Copies of this chain bind each other. A is one copy, B any other.
Amino acid sequence: MSREPRREQLLNAADRVIQREGPSASMNAIAAEAGITKPILYRHFGDRNGLIRALTERHTGGLLAAVRAALAEPLERRDRVEHVLDTYLAGIEARPQVYRLLTHPEPGDPSGAGNALAPALRQIAEEITRAVQSQVDLGADRDLLAEAWGRGITGMVLAAGDWWLETKPCSRTRMVQALADLLWGRLAAAADLPTAVLPTAPAEPAAD
């Protein structure tokens, strides 16, 4: 028989143990969960990165496809952005442990430089870049802006989503609004607070 079925079983086992123990689960633990021993894992996946990659590609499929679909929705831009944000947050909410696996770059990456975005997120960033390039009129700077924004937006959602997942300070809907507001320039539009400290007058020290 083709090796695919067993491979799937092994991936399922790895999935379970990572669900349970987090992304730093050892190969031994994964093998044990699958009811086998290490060398078999290595036969199928080469090395740990291979396993992780196979695992991520599996889940990335879903998330990436969902994000891609959301990016292509025929909505007003703001609604589309909210839809994408909601899709991503819903995805990471559903499977926190797997999500950590997706977002954490491999610890030991001696060859190249340590990229802040894991491969799965890199793909999402590229997706956003393409969407911006093809849908938004940005003038001469379009390529640079689209690339920088793709990475930037992805990183923003990664960090903010991570925090949200951790502390759950509000509903998903509100979080989507908060991030969309940020992207919509609400930071630029809001008024100054009148109570702002004056730089030249260190009058009464407030706190800190």
Contact = CB atoms under 8 A, between A and B. Distances in A.
A72 interface: yes
A199 B165 CA distance: 33
A129 B165 CA distance: 18
Nearest to A97: B113
Q: How large is the interface on A (under 10, 10 to 19, 20 to 34, 35 or more residues)?
A: 35 or more
Nearest to A181: B145
Nearest to A104: B114
A134 B193 contact: yes
A80 to B, nearest CB: 11
- Number of copies of this protein chain within its complex: 2
A54 to B, nearest CB: 20
A1 interface: no
Contacts of A81: 187
Interface in A102-135: 103-105, 107-110, 113-117, 125, 132, 134-135
B148 A193 contact: no
A105 B159 CA distance: 12
A2 to B, nearest CB: 29
Given A134-B196, A138-B186, A155-B162, 12 more contacts: A74-B199, A74-B200, A78-B188, A117-B163, A137-B190, A137-B192, A144-B170, A145-B186, A151-B160, A151-B163, A156-B159, A185-B185
17 contacts: A22-B113, A24-B110, A74-B198, A77-B187, A78-B188, A115-B163, A116-B162, A117-B162, A117-B163, A134-B196, A138-B190, A149-B182, A151-B163, A152-B159, A152-B160, A152-B179, A185-B185
